[in-house]
Amino acid sequence: MPYIKLIPIALLLLLCAQCSSPQSDAPTSEKSALVQNLEGIFYTGTFAEIPDQSFKANDYGAVGDSTTLNTSAIQQAIDAAHAAGGGRVEFEPGIYLSGAIFVKSNVDLHLGEGVTIRAIQDDSQYPERPTRIAGFEMTWPAALINVYEEQHARISGKGTIDGNGKFWWDKFWGDPPRSGGMWVDYERKDVRWAVDYDCKRVRAVVVYKSSDVLLKDFTVLRSGFWTISLTYSERVHVDGVTIRNNIGGFGPSSEGINTDSSKDILVENCDIDCNDDNLCIKAGRDDDGLRVN
């Protein structure tokens, strides 16, 4: 998958009502020609097309009691769906505590109403993976929900992804903000900029080196770091997603949707409230960015 340069064919934020079907419900006459052209790219062929079969995470041992660690059970359901050629992974209503999970090709991780996947506040549950942070390639903790080198994948539904981020916010700069954490130590040494790289925090959703991915209708709360990170990917549609990162604290660097060196990205019908860029488009930084791009 070549990534010669960042080509933001469209990165649109339309603050309006959420849609309920994969393609926007607004009448064609109300859409711009650009949006219509992009939907033509996404919704022809097999974009994020998922086989019609269901896999219940609860059947694999997932328990929505907010205390049981469900990483393995959820991953088993995803892997079973993938091995069967694809399908939808579903949950009974509840709060599912989890570490990093990885959505596979042809799988829809479907979070229905009343379903929350909540990040466990334990760094050991997020293995480091290759990624790009602030324009530089490096390893970084996996996100709560990851799409890594996959095709035709979805994260959908009216449920919630809870980043449970205050653990990482306080690690960065204490409570209240700028009163402690690594921020104060690095500020005293006049290397405040370095804390952004050295304080490794967990993102909510990562799409990395993937294509034909749909992120639709869910809500994200309290991301520990960037909320949705799209890197080296193409044909990603983010539709009807709500982001709320000012709940229970002040999350540093909790960008909404961070797009790096990707193409054919459509963001629409989203409502974002965070403590950094709501939308961010980048293509690497300095020599490392030139090396890659």
What is the C-alpha to C-alpha distance for residues 49 and 88, in angstroms, rounded to an integer? 11
Residue 114: band (very low, low, confident or very high) from pLDDT cuts 50, 70, 90: very high
Average pLDDT over residues 163-181: 91
The domains of the chain are located at 28-165+202-280, 167-200
- More confident call, 61 vs 247: 61
* The two structure tokens encoding residue 71: 């990483």
Whether the pLDDT of residue 269 is over 90: the answer is yes
Whether the pLDDT of residue 6 is over 50: the answer is no
Least-confidence region, from 66-80, 100-114, 262-276 = 262-276
Whether the pLDDT of residue 177 is over 90: the answer is no
DSSP state of 236: E
Length of the chain in terms of residues written: 293
Percentage with pLDDT > 70 across the chain:
88
Least-confidence region, from 21-25, 51-55, 122-126 = 21-25
Write the CATH number of the domain with boundaries 28-165+202-280. 2.160.20.10
